[in-house]
Amino acid sequence: MTTKTCDVCIVGAGITGLNALWVAGQYLARDQKVVLVDSRKQVGGMWADTYPYVRLHQPHGMFTAGNVAWTLGRERSYLASKPEVLDHLEYCLETIKQRVQVDELFGWTMVSHDEANGVVLVTCESADGATVVVEAKRLIKAYGFRIAPNEPFAVSSTRVRSVSPDFCDLHGEDMRSTDTPVWIIGGGKTAMDTALELITEYPGREVNLVAGVGTFFHSRERLFPAGARRWWAGDLSSSLLRETARRFDGTNEADVWDWHRTTYGTWVTPETGSFLLGILSESENSTIAAGLRRVVMDYLVDAVDDHDETRLVFRSGATTTIPPGSWIVNCTGYVMRHDYPYEPYVSSGGAVLSIQPRSATMYLTSMIGYFLTHLMFLDRISDSPLYELDVPELLSKSRTVPPYALFTLTLYNAGIIYDNVPSAVFRDFGLDFDRWYPLPRRMAAMARFALTHRRDREHLRHTLDTVRARFDVRCGPLAQEVRRRDTTEVADRGRGETV
């Protein structure tokens, strides 16, 4: 068994972990060390695993670690591809390593951690069974959403091709050598990406969508207008956040949903019962809508062979006959598919930061990794009265409330953080979507936030308290009994976790 000593151990080398690492590098001296652990063999998190045709939702410049600038040389609205994102995240890591020592443990999994007397012992294992114990002053568990590749659907039929975009090359010879229909299962961003790819790559091919309750997306043109329109058109993301949180009172999600969808949304399906923070352009929407043969508002249960027929069976009990050799592509959701135990965003001893949706403090874990790591190094993480939200639990009880609860949570906690960190923390936040707009518009938005964040605090807190009471979910300040409890309880429940 090997032992390593460091100042900070960060578990997770995706966008969340790299933002935590960038922040740590701002506080540590050149001779101090960070151990970076990830079960994957490279930096990048979910981007290392996902389907090859995935692209960023937002313009590439606003997907980074800290304020590391891209070197891609493309125009600013360009949506970076998977290889380009991975290259940039590798560049972010190399840039950070110029400031602080980073010892990489790629291909290692954290199996347990124990916090005592100001030290955290982190036990990691490799695939071949080797063990290393990392002794750190701080541990940041940058799990994020723990997105993992989708497996193909297990179906009864032997006459269909059931695949997943993560394990099947849709540009490969198998797909090209057939002209049978494709059934995309799912209504979210992966389904939209896959539909767009198939419709443009195979013109005239029958492509169908099984969309569940349907999903609407933020219109890219509304949030990221192109060219000179950035000076007068579109809405800054901070404005969307503020307006939504001011409208939502914890009980009126149906009205807020209708306003939000009408004002900012775009959608392909005839019904839209879901919104998961995705972004889609109007041109993408039009291409997909025109290229789909059928849209089924239902859920796939199975594909079965019945004598000479092959049928898709849906949750409603409806069926449809499909030709032998049809393709079924599993594009169902990646986010929060697995149930992980609750743990607080900061341990009772204050030395372990856990970034995951069971105790979310903002709507993106990359944002949490950035801001909460600042609070940790400023020794303000334990006494800042942030609210935490158990997002998976709320999602299990409501489809429409979670996005608005998350927007409210983000705005509330951003105000608390603003009062507890230097102004440079917000200035250097490279994931800020407001950076799309010219400086005068951004400065006006920041001035509004600075003037109103305390004034809005009571409404935001009341809204979050109402959500907690309505749905009986964890939504509030970190409980004092949680702060005091023995951190080994969390460590025991976290054994064998991977990133």
Classify residue 171: in a domain, yes or no.
yes
Question: Are 313 and 347 in the same domain?
Answer: no
Query: Which residues constitute the domain of residue 195?
Result: 161-330
CB 188 within 8 A of CB 276: yes
Which segments of the chain have a pLDDT < 70? Answer: 334-338, 480-499
CATH value at residue 116? 3.50.50.60
Classify residue 154: in a domain, yes or no.
no
Given 306, 330, 354, the domain boundary residue is: 330
Given 330, 358, 384, the domain boundary residue is: 330
Each residue's pLDDT tens digit, 442-452: 999 999 999 99
CATH value at residue 307? 3.50.50
Question: Are 262 and 323 in the same domain?
Answer: yes
Classify residue 498: in a domain, yes or no.
no
pLDDT at position 481: 37
pLDDT at position 276: 85
Question: Are 285 and 342 in the same domain?
Answer: no
Domain total of the chain: 2
Given 296, 330, 364, the domain boundary residue is: 330
Question: Are 326 and 342 in the same domain?
Answer: no
pLDDT at position 484: 40
CA distance 478 to 342: 12
Each residue's pLDDT tens digit, 6-29: 999 999 999 999 999 999 999 999
Question: Are 116 and 225 in the same domain?
Answer: no
The dihedral of CA 475, 481, 484, 490: what is its sign? negative
CA distance 393 to 470: 13
Question: Are 187 and 317 in the same domain?
Answer: yes
